[in-house]
Amino acid sequence: MKALFGTDGIRGEAGRFPLDPATVSAIGFSLASHLAGSGNTPKIVIGRDTRESGESIEQSLIQGAMQAGAKCLSAGVITTPGVSFLTRKLEASAGVVISASHNPYQDNGIKIFAPSGQKMDDSVERRIEADISSKNERAGASPSSGLVLPINITSPEEGLAPALRELEEKLHQDYLSFLTDEIGKDLNLTGLTIVIDCANGASSALAPILFSQLGANVIAINATPDGRNINRDCGSLHIDSLREKVVQERADLGVAFDGDADRSLFVDGDGNFVDGDATLWALATHLQAHGRLKDSVVVATVMSNIGLEIALRSARIQLVRTDVGDKYVLDELLRRGASLGGEQSGHIILPDLSLAGDGMITTLCLLRALRESHKTLAEMTSGFKRYPQVLLNVRVREKVPFTDLASVRTAITEVEELLSQQGRLLLRYSGTEPLARVMIEGEDQGQIEDYARRITGAIEREIGV
């Protein structure tokens, strides 16, 4: 059976394997069974975003988890980092988020958090996959037909105390209080006008309240979810409407969250886009100036622009790169004891505050930097120059290590010498297709296009289709 869990949990079309009701129940049963291995009654905190499929998937998961003896607390519609926080605060055995992040409403997903508030260890995910595969084989079922649990399950409302539903508001308030009283402590946003794009997602009922409570004049857009409009022409993947609103309202800045609000992207007062790389630059230089950037290190992924690396180098800050995925960024942050990391997509992690990427925490930290430095967002991000980039794909008949291909190896050496310290070459195979991917960043668009063609030509001659 194909692996269920990717770098960000399970994701797929709602209602189809592995997000059909029977399989979701089996996932809940498996998770709770493994958590119960310590002999204690597992306690699982569950939240979801605003997709129309979210509640039914949550109920299926609760059914399976309760069958295995778990106690489930539903936080209702809440952000992914909100569940991470509650898992840690309530000392739960695990937290589960029903969300497909920035995907369209037809999709959904399952993310699992450990008691620490970070993503659950891969070993637990592998055990759940093994359980699902085993049940599939015993039932003689194909993945598309779902799985059948061994005994009947009562409806969730019969098994859950009515008071659990009433806890939703309290759990939301606990999270908001954490953001305002701890992360936003002494942060006064009076006089600041902020446009907030909630992506019709999980931040819709939380973000406007948070920033208003801190004194900002908040203009919320895309904050009326209907189950199907999450991420639709809005949020972090669609910045244009936010840009227009910021300029129209003469706001100081704008922030766009994705569907589950674990990422945030920004627009400055002039309508210029500020991505995750620019956000890392602004936060890193501010923390460095105040002696709060541990070991002068920032952790990012291989997808961060070379411009970030060059800008940080000029500020005597080292950029450490990881594979793509916020879990890899967090692993490296914890290994090094570093204080700031993230992705170009807007996942920013400040492990001293949270072990999950949290778009609202990122926004609060950026606003604090603006207040403390008495600068605008445009001024804070000056000094960072995004370099041109070219990406070419070559269809290949086999995936031979590039170092084993003489002419490719020669082309790589030549291009890296030409780029020197003012550019970057990333060469890799696709994980899902027979493609070699050549990505080059540098100061001149025409030059890097020529460099990329040199390498793709060598690959085509050696192993091209």
| Active-site annotation, residues | 101
DSSP string, 139-154: HT--GGG----SS---
User: For the purposes of burial, counting CB atoms within 10 Å of the CB of 69, is it exposed (0-12), middle (13-18) or buried (19 or more)?
Assistant: middle
Beta bridge partners of 424: 441
Torsion of CA 125, 126, 130, 133, to 10 degrees: 70
What's the one-letter identity of residue 353? Answer: L
Distance between CA atoms of 427 and 425, rounded to whole angstroms?
Answer: 6
Strands 217-221 and 253-257: unpaired
Distance between CA atoms of 332 and 322, rounded to whole angstroms?
Answer: 8
Strands, sheet with 435-441, edge to edge from the N-terminal-most edge strand: 389-395, 435-441, 424-429
Beta bridge partners of 44: 72, 94
Q: 3-class SS at 349?
A: strand
Look at the chain and count its residues: 465
Q: How many CB atoms lie within 10 A of CB 450?
A: 14
Sorted by sequence, the CB contacts under 8 Å of residue 181 that are 6+ apart come out as none
Q: What is the largest CA-CA distance in the chain?
A: 69
CB 133 within 8 A of CB 143: no
Kindly state the DSSP code that residue 16 receives in the 8-state scheme. S
156, two tokens: 């969730």
